[in-house]
Structure 1
Amino acid sequence: MQTVSSTVRKAPRPRADALRNRERIVAAAREMFVEFGPEVPLDEIARRAGVGNATVYRHFPERDALVGEVVCSVIDRTAEAAERALTETGDAFEALSRFVHTAADERINALCPMVSSAFDRHHPDLQAARERVEHLIEVLMERARAAGQLRPDVGVGDLMVAVAQLSRPPAGTACLHVDRFAHRHLQLFLDGLRAPARSDLPGAATTMEDLRQA
């Protein structure tokens, strides 16, 4: 009689070269989606990644799968930036500022609209990545607020709207030519977040749930 251990087989681990190829495809797709939008030909992505067309289709049989992988990877990288800011930066507001500038470099504004047009916004991977980064931003903001450095009338939604609007225009609209303005404008915005507030903001603080329902 076969034992349990003899009948159960672990799924084979992907080869190192296959993992590298996948990472190169996702990195190339991220760059080209930002430059040209999500409809850029997969053959062009393969060329930039330095792999064959068949390799792209083997990893991502459908375009939506590649778009989803790129969006989730950007959100994950943004979450990692928030974690680094929390652990490596002692000053609470400086940690928040560091995160904001790093999030801008990830070009979130150019990529996130693709969620509604080419990817299931309710996909479990996307929801998990989004919940992780939103929690970390909440922690960053609460720490700065508790330190008396962040004005109390702003929410995570306010922060992310500003990062999106000030950092990059939508994909395919010469966004690479405005990089030199992004961090300058973001710093002006960050200066406006500092406590004590110099003015009263109209309306209430915006949450991420407010944005999703808009």
Structure 2
Amino acid sequence: MTTRADTAPARRVPRPRADALRNRERIVTAAREMFVEFGPQVPYDEVARRAGVGNATLYRNFPERPDLVREVVLSIMARVTEVAERAAEEEDDTFAALRRFTHAAVEERIGALCPMLDGAFDKDHPDLIAERDRLEEVVQALVGRAQRAGRLRLDVGVGDLMVAVSQLTRPLPGTVSGAHFDQFVHRHLQLFLDGLEAPARSELPGTAVTLEDLRRDSCPS
């Protein structure tokens, strides 16, 4: 016997309007810029002002601060992953691909993730785990290719690379910022990368840092 429930058409979930999607993207972009510059505790109304939306629109998209922080973290990781994928596809020289990715990751201020992950932030959210795994897989592939090609010294790991990127994108208090800071970052990053090329010029103390090491010790400080 067919019931009314069996014959009733399935309800369609309405798709977000284009303007709503644009507003959400503008909010995430503004929040990413401000979190990197001032930290994740920046006032909500300042984020709304920079995004060019009303406070009601901001709260409708991200009712709680952790919601917005998580979206910003996902955005940064996704952008860095895309940079790594393009570098791997477009560079024939495996070390050039690694160098290109590393400089681009600095541009994304990936080191700003560490302050965002402090406190009660849910680091085990499924979306974060999926995006983190995607990023780690791509970067590990870049490192592995360069090592197999004999272009990257064998006594370093992905964790060594990510520690350097994190440290260099977190300016010390009272130091230069803006364009001048960017020049210092890329200069010192290039010095670091020169030390990664094979053949190794010295023996490193300790062992290669893995991504598991970084997760166990949290963000490098």
Residue 185 of structure 2 is matched in structure 1 by 182
**One of 125, 149, 152 as aligned partner of 1:123:** 125
Between the two proteins, the alignment pairs up a number of residues equal to 214
Question: What amino acid sits opposite 2:197 in the alignment?
Answer: R
Work out which of the residue numbers 56, 59, 64 in structure 1 matches 2:58. 56
**Could you say if the C-alpha distance between residues 13 and 152 of structure 1 is closer, same or farther in structure 2, counting changes exceeding 3 Å?**
same
Percent identity of equivalent pairs: 65
Any residues of structure 2 matched to 1:182-201 within 5 Å, and which? 182-201=185-204
Assess if the C-alpha contact under 8 Å between 2:40 and 2:115 holds in 1.
no
1:21 aligned residue: 23
Runs of 4+ residues over 4 Å off in structure 1: 1-6, 170-175
The structure with the larger Rg is 2
Mapped pair 1:206 → 2:213: no
* CA RMSD, Structure 1 to Structure 2 (Å): 1.9
Supply the distance in 2 between the matched residues of 1:172 and 1:27 (Cα, whole angstroms).
26
Partner of 2:134: 132
Amino acid at match of 2:102: V
Q: Measure how far apart 1:174 and its partner are.
A: 6.5
TM-score calculated relative to the size of structure 2: 0.91
Aligned pairs (5 A) from 1:62-77:
62-77=64-79
**1:84 alignment partner in structure 2:** 86
Unaligned runs of 5+ in 2: none
TM-score, length-scaled by structure 1 = 0.93
User: How far apart, in 2, do the equivalents of 1:172 and 1:6 lie?
Assistant: 66
Change (3 A) 1:168 1:5: farther
Which residue number corresponds to residue 153 of structure 1?
Answer: 155
Q: List gaps (5 residues or longer) in structure 1.
A: none
Task: Supply the distance in 2 between the matched residues of 1:192 and 1:90 (Cα, whole angstroms).
Answer: 21
Q: d(CA) in 2 for partners of 1:131 and 1:158? A: 17
Aligned equivalents of 1:159 and 1:75: distance in 2?
A: 15
**Structure 1 position 12 matched with structure 2 position 11:** no
**Residues 59-68 or 171-180, more deviating:** 171-180
